Amino acid sequence: MPLIQLVIVLVVVGVVLWLINTYIPMEATIKKILNVVVIIAVILWLLSVFGVLGSLSGVRIGR
């Protein structure tokens, strides 16, 4: 994945998260949970992109 595409994806995710936090009324705890989930997903995705984590296609959730 080219570096510019990576930066664009990170900027888009950041802007969408900021828009959700700013303009959608939610409780503070729900916003914190949403932020943590998005940050963990982005970190896992970045680790996968750089090859540190390996392929995420083999990860199974549930049965």
pLDDT tens for 50-62 read 888 776 666 677 7
- Please tell me the distance from the alpha carbon of residue 59 to that of residue 43, in angstroms, as a whole number: 15
Residue 58 three-state SS? helix
- Please tell me the distance from the alpha carbon of residue 7 to that of residue 3, in angstroms, as a whole number: 6
The pTM assigned to this predicted structure is 0.77
Residue 23 three-state SS? helix
Write down the domain spans for the chain. Answer: 3-50
pLDDT tens for 1-40 read 689 999 999 999 999 999 999 999 999 999 999 999 999 9
CB-based contacts of 44-48 (< 8 A; 24+ apart in sequence): none
Tokens of 42: 């982005």
Q: Are 53 and 47 in contact (CB under 8 A)?
A: yes
